[in-house]
Amino acid sequence: MIAAPLLFCLGLAQTSLPVPPVPSLPGPRILVVPFETPPRDARTYWLGEALAVLVTDDINARGLGAITRTARERAYDQLHLPPNAVLSRATVIRVGQIVGASQVIVGDVQVDGDVLNVRLRPIRIDIGHAGEDVTERGELKDLFLLALRVARRAVPGGDAGSITATASPPLQAFEQYIKGLLAEQPASQATFLETALKLDPAYDRARIALWEVRTAQGDHAAALAAVKRVAGSSPAARRARFLAAISMMGLKQYDDAFTVLKSLQDESPSAAVLNNLGVVQVRRGSTAETGKPTYFFTQAAKAEPDDPDFLFNLGYAYALDRDPQGAIYWLREALRRNPADGDAHVVLAAELEAAGRAAEAGRERELAAQLSSKYVDASRRGGTDALPARLERTRADLEPRRAQSVDQAIVNTAQRDQQDLAQFHLERGRRLFEREQDPEALVELRRAVFLSPYEAQAHLLIGRIHLRGGRPREAIDALKISIWSQDTAAARVALAEAYLLVKDVTSARAEVQRALTLEPGSAQAKQLQERIDRGGQ
């Protein structure tokens, strides 16, 4: 642990530019999910997402901290939910817990000709209370004002001002924009968004959405063209410049990207901008005048110390600089935040090998192979491979991510013995798990893993919580780490259950066999074997 302040000082010594801390996110966190719409109605299917977007916009405009659509999509992805699915109340609450919400907003919209009937209900997750329904009725042409009224009745407070329609795009352009968000194929997404821009060339929100589509397609030139047309006076101008720099990086226009990012950083410090400056320096090469990648990644990690990608980039940059000790320290810090990061394990293995710690390197390669099949061959070959190239991670979101931070709790008790403290959190997590208080249990178990990254029982319980929460792929990652740390029949059985949930019967059968080899009398393994023999039911 002594290395941490020393390495930070080395990074800070390269420049005197101050980096202020990133401001904390708003306290109350409100998640608005898409409203239910009439089934099989091609005219109105877009209204559910449209109302969710508009209500979220108004809550944020009043400073009340609504969760963005991007964060909501990430939560859906973690739960392996279709992005446009109608969810049960229990699933909505589970999504809210993943994104750290204290309140979720659900609703539905009924259509009678050109008249909309909107009903909305707030649910407090933290106290388990559903509020009264809020209903509003209005014409489709007044959609923006209707959403404003229902949002302010359901979630009062903040800087509300008068209930008047703010500057909005034409309704037809907004409809095409929402349909572009909902479309499943990139070509269809682009068509809808380009139609929105034809209807309203100043609709910058649609330009940024089009950038995302073109970037996902790998068409960096088209993506750059989309955001370059955002006016400098637009509220979206800073974000558009940030995204333009990412497109320039994709086009290998590194000098231009660096200039844009440096100007953004000079105007308003940002961990995401600092991170991307480091990525530019990795890819184009650095000089003493422009700054080493480690400097920029150090500053990004200082601003957001719980972001695993920033920590990984810092460790990877030290590895590229042939500084194994610096790389080992920061890669381990990244793995404390995200133990299932296969790339971090494989780079850590290479650096441990360079530091003469072959046995530890072998264990890291073995775990990397468990987590990702792309590293299986490297694990078999041992320490003969060069450091993997182009693993540095670009950030495409300017806003700080809501990290599941455990640092503060640990810092407050840092003088206690680390292993004892890890066991303390493990036992608290176990008791909470047994009482089915899964969100609280996860907090305690992640604290245990932070202090003792390869604590097998903590990873086993985390895997079981993911299983109970319907997140089998996250469970698989946690259970593989548990087995790698300590091979037990209980972890093998849990891993088999996770494989069954993702319909991988072959792997499930193999895990049950390993469990029975470890513990021939295991009743759980035998019961699961019978289930598999009956067809996995």
Sign for the pseudo-dihedral over CA of 405, 409, 414, 417: negative
CB 194 within 8 A of CB 224: no
What pLDDT was estimated at residue 381? 57
Which of 168, 194, 219 represents a domain boundary (last residue)? Answer: 168
340 and 276 both lie in a single domain: yes
Whether 425 is covered by a domain: the verdict is: yes
Whether 502 is covered by a domain: the verdict is: yes
Q: Token pair for residue 121?
A: 């209900």
What pLDDT was estimated at residue 23? 41
294 and 437 both lie in a single domain: no
SS3 call for 265: helix
Q: Token pair for residue 472?
A: 């089998």
Q: What 8-state DSSP symbol labels residue 13?
A: T
Whether 399 is covered by a domain: the verdict is: no
338 and 427 both lie in a single domain: no
What pLDDT was estimated at residue 359? 86
247 and 349 both lie in a single domain: yes
345 and 221 both lie in a single domain: yes
Q: What is the CATH number of the domain that holds 94?
A: 3.40.50.10070
Which of 381, 416, 441 represents a domain boundary (last residue)? Answer: 381
9 and 47 both lie in a single domain: no
- Supply the DSSP string of 443-472, one letter for each residue: HHHHHHHHHSTT-HHHHHHHHHHHHHTT-H
Whether 235 is covered by a domain: the verdict is: yes
Identify the helix (H) or strand (E) that includes residue 124. strand 115-124
* Chain Cα centroid distance, residue 44: 30
323 and 347 both lie in a single domain: yes
Work out how many domains the chain is built from and give that number.
3
CB 293 within 8 A of CB 286: yes
214 and 361 both lie in a single domain: yes
214 and 350 both lie in a single domain: yes
Q: Token pair for residue 266?
A: 């000079």
What's the full length of the chain, in residues? 537
- Rounded to whole angstroms, the maximal C-alpha distance in the chain is 74
Whether 197 is covered by a domain: the verdict is: no
Q: What 8-state DSSP symbol labels residue 21?
A: P
φ and ψ at residue 35, rounded to 5 degrees:
-75, 150
Q: How far apart are alpha carbons 219 and 223 in whole angstroms? A: 6
Whether 198 is covered by a domain: the verdict is: no
What pLDDT was estimated at residue 329? 93
Q: How far apart are alpha carbons 327 and 361 in whole angstroms? A: 13
303-352 pLDDT, tens digit per residue, is 999 899 999 999 999 999 999 999 999 999 999 888 888 899 999 999 99
147-197 pLDDT, tens digit per residue, is 999 999 999 987 765 444 456 899 999 999 999 999 989 999 999 999 999
Whether 200 is covered by a domain: the verdict is: no
Identify the helix (H) or strand (E) that includes residue 337. helix 324-337
What pLDDT was estimated at residue 25? 43
What pLDDT was estimated at residue 289? 78
Q: First vs last Cα of the chain: how many Å apart? A: 49
Give Cα separations from 74 to 68, 69, 95, 205, 217 (angstroms).
10, 9, 10, 19, 19
- Supply the DSSP string of 35-85, one letter for each residue: PB--TT-TTTTTHHHHHHHHHHHHHHHTTS-BPPHHHHHHHHHHTT--TT-
Q: How far apart are alpha carbons 175 and 345 in whole angstroms? A: 45
Q: Token pair for residue 179?
A: 């349909």
Q: How far apart are alpha carbons 161 and 159 in whole angstroms? A: 6
SS3 call for 123: strand
244 and 360 both lie in a single domain: yes
Whether 194 is covered by a domain: the verdict is: no
CB 35 within 8 A of CB 107: yes
The domain of 472 spans 407-533
What pLDDT was estimated at residue 72? 83
Which of 347, 381, 415 represents a domain boundary (last residue)? Answer: 381
| Sites in the chain below the pLDDT cut of 70 | 1-28, 78-79, 160-167, 377-385, 401-419, 536-537
What pLDDT was estimated at residue 385? 59
224 and 286 both lie in a single domain: yes
87 and 156 both lie in a single domain: yes
Q: What is the CATH number of the domain that holds 505?
A: 1.25.40.10
